[in-house]
Amino acid sequence: MTHEVIKHLLDDYVTGDLTEEARPPVEEHVIACALCAAEVESLRRILARAAELPKSIDPPADAWSNIRSAISRDEAAVRASSSVSRPSIWQRRYVLAAAAAVLVAVLSSAGTALYMSGHYSGARSNQAIANSSSAEGTPATLAAFTIEENNYLRTASMLQDLLDQQEASLAPATVAQLKASLRTIDEAILEARSALARDPANKLLLEMLSASYRQKVDLLRRTTELTRGT
């Protein structure tokens, strides 16, 4: 390859992008050609300086407050554009935020259980589930799980409450299916819970229970979101 050709390959040579075949002749030429060698060195210096540039630079202090204001204005605009007479079908984020605010409040007050009297059979079995826990000293994993379980129960109760308010917007058949699904999950939870009481060190059971609670909360959350505006 001639100098005229190779000088166009020096970038790729320096960054390691040349093919296996192209690299040796270019390398050979660079060794022999002072001009190309100087260019290679210069390129390497530039790239080294680029790599040394700080990847993080603190933004101005007031940037966040401007962003927060923009977010608040956007969301006020969305609320303003949705009138009472129009279905609130665009308010998914607010539904999510409402339910999630509940979730966050509950999860942040670990250890305080609040069992509401049932509107759904699921809520009554929440009480049964809580009562079935062993009263005796238990291994650390089960104790930690009991706190998480209380949080799930409280969250589920609060979401069920939200759903109660929207029950009228669901078809009776769907309400029946939903109640049946919640009963199914609760029965699974009770079975697993009883098994766990007999075998408290069984981590698989703890994971399965967590998964069932998660599915229950997820079903309630999804239904709450889907029925807003229907």
Partner 1 sequence: MGRRALSSYVASVSGRRLIVAAVGLLLCASPAAAQKKVERKIPLGMEGALRIANMVGSVVVHGWNKDTVMVRGTLGAGDTFFMGGGYTGAKMFVEATNDRDPKPTQLEVWVPSRVRLWIKTATANIDVSDVTGGLDLYVVSGTIDVRGNPRELNAEAIDGDIHVIGSPSWLRAKTATGTITFQGASSDVGLSTVSGPIKVEGGVFERTKIETVTGNITFAGKLDRGGTFDFDTHSGNIEIGIPQKMGASISAVTIAGTITNNFSVTAPIPGRFGRGAELRMEPSGGGARVSVRTFKGPITFRRTK
Partner 2 sequence: MKTSAVVSDTIGNYPSTSAEDKAAALERVRHAQTGDVDAFEVLYREHSPRIYALCLRLEGGDTSDATELLQDVFTKAWRRLDTFRGDCAFGSWLHRLTVNTMLENARSDQRRTARVLPMEDTSRLAGAARSSGVESRMDMEGAIASLPKGARLAFVLHDVEGYQHQEIAEQLSVSVGTVKAQLHRARRLLRERLES
CB 49 to partner 2: min, Å: 5
Could you tell me the CA-to-CA distances from 102 to 116, 153, 179, 196, 230 in Å, in that order? 15, 12, 21, 28, 22
Q: Should residue 53 be labelled a site residue for partner 1 when binding is judged by CB under 8 A?
A: no
CB 205 to partner 1: min, Å: 7
Could you tell me the CA-to-CA distances from 132 to 52, 194, 197, 230 in Å, in that order? 61, 7, 8, 38
Q: Should residue 88 be labelled a site residue for partner 1 when binding is judged by CB under 8 A?
A: no
CB 12 to partner 2: min, Å: 8
Q: Which is nearer to partner 2, 10 or 153 (CB)?
A: 10
Which residues ranging from 194 to 223 are in contact with partner 2 (CB under 8 A)? Answer: none
Of partner 2, partner 1, none, which one sits near residue 52, judging by CB under 5 to 8 A according to partner kind?
partner 2
Q: Which is nearer to partner 1, 43 or 188 (CB)?
A: 188
Q: Should residue 230 be labelled a site residue for partner 2 when binding is judged by CB under 8 A?
A: no
Candidate segments 6-14, 47-55, 158-166, 170-178, binder of partner 1 by CB under 8 A: 170-178
Applying CB under 8 A, among 61, 80, 135, 140 the residue interacting with partner 1 is 80
Could you tell me the CA-to-CA distances from 230 to 9, 166, 169, 218 in Å, in that order? 63, 9, 6, 19
Interatomic CA distance for residues 159 and 171, integer angstroms: 19
Is the distance from CB of 151 to CB of 108 less than 8 angstroms?
no
Candidate segments 40-48, 101-109, 152-160, 178-186, binder of partner 1 by CB under 8 A: 178-186
Check residue 111 and report its DSSP letter. T
Q: Should residue 89 be labelled a site residue for partner 2 when binding is judged by CB under 8 A?
A: no
Instruction: Indicate the angle between helix axes 34-52 and 23-32, nearest 10 degrees.
Output: 110
- 3-state secondary structure (DSSP) of residue 41: helix
Residue identified by tokens 């062993």 is 134
Applying CB under 8 A, among 63, 128, 144, 147 the residue interacting with partner 2 is 63
User: Of 153, 167, 163, whose CA–CA distance to 116 is shortest?
Assistant: 153
Of partner 1, partner 2, none, which one sits near residue 195, judging by CB under 5 to 8 A according to partner kind?
partner 1
Could you tell me the CA-to-CA distances from 130 to 2, 72, 106, 161, 184 in Å, in that order? 82, 40, 16, 18, 17
Residue identified by tokens 């069932």 is 212
Residues near partner 1 (CB under 8 A) are: 66, 69-70, 73-74, 77-78, 80-82, 86-87, 89-90, 169-171, 173-174, 177-178, 180-181, 184-185, 188, 191-192, 195, 199, 202, 204-205, 207-208, 211-212, 215, 218-219, 222-223, 225-227, 230
